[in-house]
Each structure stands twice: as structure tokens, then as C-alpha cells.
Structure 1
Amino acid sequence: MLALGSCLRKALALRALAPQVCSPFATGPRQSDGTLYEFRTYFLKSSKTKEFLENLKKNVHLRTAHSELIGYWSVEFGGRTNKVFHIWKYDNFAHRTAVRKALANDKAWQEQFLIPNLTSIDKQEIEITYLVPWCKLGKPPKEGVYELATFQMKPGGPALWGDAFKRAVNAHVDLGYSTLVGVFHTEYGALNRVHVLWWNESADSRAAGRHRSHEDPRVVAAVRESVNYLESQQNMFLIPTSFSPLK
């Protein structure tokens, strides 16, 4: 027993001298506040799309009385047509829960819009996102068109790919090839997904800026670094509705 105790003490002493490896749980920088952005995509029946949007235009004030609408768009290119995409802002999850409860009890909203239009929607997708810590929500200088670029990154979080991704985005921004509205990191939905919302004056100005950026060695170098962590990408070209705060 004495020999065993002596061996145990020696082992503990050696362990104390060995370097300790600490692995943090955090996967990257975090937001400083709880503000979240809900991404909603509705897949509409083709015969109902026009009716759905006209009804919403008349009644959207009933919905925005409860929480802030950032933008509402119809999808022009990039995936299935007859699709609308909208972003809602909440202070935190408790705020969203309170808003959803209030909407369920709002007779005007239920009777004038929701119930009549439920049959217009084939399906819906919802994601909860945060702005990345290095980005603030921007406001374009005038009316235009939008592009939502969605990047599915490799597992590991911003600690793995965040810096390279930031450099790729900023290369486009700093050199004036497009106007950034926001960069959002998904919290609920497909993880390791980043959405970048861009504004351009028109579809043609967007195409011209993209062609110039692809010939700029500074942009090319930044993008090549970022794509090492990329699994897939999808782009949607968005047209703001007449009632969208972001035009």
C-alpha cells in the first residue's frame, strides 16, 4: 500500500508539471446584445402570389404594429419563383414570444390577412440569425435591388473561417463594388451558415460590379482564402415590395 501511495504521489506531481491544454468552448466572437433577426421565406402558390401581396400591402400595418419589419422582397432569380422573403427584428427571444402571442390574439390581423391567406402558402422556412459582431445593419442611399448570398461554411464556426470570410466581404465593400446591408450568422436553421445582404442600384450595375471585382487581384486573393472553408453557396436576387422599409 505504501509503494502504491508513493507511485500515485509521483504520478500526480508529474502531471502538475506537464503543460495543460485548454480548449475554449466558444467558436468565435459573440454579439454584445441579444438583438435577433428572423428570416422568413414563403413559397407561394403561383395562382395566389399577386393576391397574397396585394392583401398584405393593405394589412401590413396590422403586423408592423407588433414588431419591426426590416424588409420584404419578392424573389426574382435564384431558386423557385413565386417566393417572398422577409426579415423581422426582435430585441430578444422573450420579445419574439410576446409578439407571437399578441398576433395570435389580434382579431384584425387574423381575420383580415392570416386566415384568408393561409391557403396561398405552400410551405415556409424560418431561420433565427444574428448580425455578426463586426457588422451593423446598413441603409442603402436610395431605392434599388438586393441580393442575398447564402454561404454554407465548413463546421467549426467563426473561429475557423470568420476572419477569412470578413476579409472577403470587406474586399468588395472597401473597393466599392457593392453596398453591404448586413452579414447574418444563423443561430437556428442550418448551422455554419452566413447570409450576406447586398444592395445595388440595378441588376445591371450589380453585374458590372461583379465582373470588375472578379478581375481585381485584391478581391480574388481574399475570396480564394475564404473559399477554402466553403461548402456551398446560393444567391437570390430580390425586388423590394412597395411596403418594404428597405427599398
Structure 2
Amino acid sequence: MLASRTFCRAVVAAARGVPGQVSSSFATGPRQHDGTFYEFRTYTVKPDKMKDFLELTSKNIHLRTAHSQMLGYWTLEFGELNKAFHIWKYESFAQRSEVRAALAKDQEWQEKYMSRMLPLLDKQESEIAYLVPWCELSSPPKTGVYEMVTFQMKPGGPAVWGEPFKAAIHAHMKTGYTKLIGVFHTEYGLLNRVHVLWWNENPDSRAAGRHYAHEDPRVVAAVRESVRFLESQQNSLLIPASFSPLK
């Protein structure tokens, strides 16, 4: 118990900037300067209900976006099927709480959408993620397809694997075959997980670009260093919905 109290006092001292108490930081890496975060929501739709789900959502999504900003809305073409994936932006957790409370009281949203949508689902999942400090959101030059690459990294956070991971992403960017939309690091959900969202003109241009990139010695070297910290990786091809801001 004494050791526990000593450790807690050391943490508080470090947070207050008391010299001589703790010589190292407990942070896992640099953080962004504001509280903006992104909620990743994944809905698993009943296999025979996807058409109904998308029609209902398209008709009523304006009721939801009246409350907060939607970054994008996609269905999965490859990877796990019968899934709808969407990203929502919040400036703070207080804002998200206010939005959720307002939605619960929004009778039109509840009656026209929620009561009809929920029976079409098998499962709902939610993650909270931040943009990594060295990445800013970008927009695609035109309509295309998206690839979400999810990396499960070894425990320890960006202090352990951040720089090699960043180098691998930048190596792919420099080949020019794809456009980076955003890199997100989970805060709630499965930790040490990084989601990288890419845009490509179509699946064939993506495939050709990947083959080219994997023959580039700079990419090979950067990836070889980064995968030392990798536990697993999953790729999904995302098709933007007609009402998605990111097309």
C-alpha cells in the first residue's frame, strides 16, 4: 500500500511539474492540442436487410446530421460483409453527451429511423479514436473507393512503435498511388489499434499501385521496420454511400 501511495504521489508530482520527483514521462506519445475526436460506428446488418437499411438511412440521415458532423458513411465490399461503417466528429466528450441526449429526445428521429432501423441489425460496435498528431484530415480529389487498414500494434503505445509506423505510412504516400485521408489511434475500444483510411480511384488502381509500392526499396525497408511491432492487420474495401460526405 505504501508503494502504491508513493507511486501515486510521483504521478501527481510529475503532472504538476515538481522537479526531482519523476524523471520520465508517463505519456505514450505526443497528443493533439485540442479535444477533437472521432467515433467509429460499425453496424452489422442482417444479410437480407442491407437494401432496406440503406434506403431507410438515406431517407432519414439528415435528421441525424442536424445534431453533429458526419465524416463519412460506407458499406464494406471486401473484408467483413453486411456491415455499415460511419465516422462522426466531436469537439469534446461533453458535446457527444449533449448530442446523444438530444437524439434520445428527438421524436422524429426516434420514430422515423431508430424504431425501424434497430430490427434490421444484428450488432452495433463503437470506438473512440483521435487523429495522430502528425496527420491532418484530407479530402479525395473525386469520387472513388476507400480502404480501411486496421493495425493491431504491440502494447506500449506510440512511444514504442509510433516513429516506425509513421515512416511506413509516409513511404506509401510518397509512391503516389493512393491518397491518405486520415490516421486514427484508438482511445476507447481495443487499444494499441491504428486505423488508416486511404482513398483510391478504383480497386484496380489500388491493386496496381500496391504491386508497384511493394517493389519500391524505400517502402520495403520502412514496412520491414514497422512490422516488428505489428500483431495483426485487417484490410477492408469501403464503398461510400450516396449520402456520405466523403465520396
SS in 2 for 1:172: helix
Name the residue aligned to 1:233. Answer: 233
For 1:215, the aligned partner's letter is E
**Compared CA separation, residues 21 and 62, structure 1 to 2 (3 A):** closer
Alignment match, 1:201: 201
Q: Give the structure 2 partner of residue 167 of structure 1.
A: 167
Letter in 2 for 1:168: A
Instruction: Choose 1 or 2 for highest CA Rg.
Output: 1
3-state SS in 1 of match to 2:151: strand
How big is each residue's C-alpha offset from its partner over 1:28-78, in whole Å with a ceiling of 9 and x where there is no partner? 111111000000000000121110110110101000000000000000001
Q: 1:175 Cα shift?
A: 2.1
Is 1:108 the counterpart of 2:78? The answer is no
**CA apart distance, 1:20:** 9.0
Structure 2 distance, partners of 1:220, 1:177, is 15
Size of the alignment, in residue pairs?
228
Paired residue type of 1:22:
S
TM normalised by structure 1 equals 0.91
What do the CA deviations read for 1:182-202 (whole angstroms, capped 9, x no partner)? Answer: 000000001000000000000
C-alpha deviation, 1:162, in angstroms:
0.4
**How much identity, in percent, do the aligned residues show?**
69
**Distance of 1:38 and 1:70 partners within structure 2:** 10
Alignment of 1:67-216 (within 5 A): 67-79=68-80, 81-216=81-216
Partner of 2:9: none
RMSD, aligned α-carbons: 1.2
Tell me what 2:25 maps to.
24
Runs of 4+ in 1 over 3 A off after TM superposition: none
Q: TM-score, length-normalised on structure 2?
A: 0.91
Alignment gaps of 5+ in structure 1: 1-18
How far the C-alpha of 1:21 sits from its partner, in A, is 7.4
1:33 corresponds in structure 2 to 34
Instruction: Tell me, in whole angstroms, the C-alpha distance in 2 between the residues paired with 1:126 and 1:190.
Output: 10
Match of 2:14 in 1: none
Give yes or no for contact 2:186–2:193 (8 Å, CA) kept in 1. yes
**In structure 1, distance between residues paired with 2:190 and 2:105:** 31
SS in structure 2 of the partner of residue 133 of structure 1:
coil
Q: Which residue of 2 aligns with 1:243?
A: 243
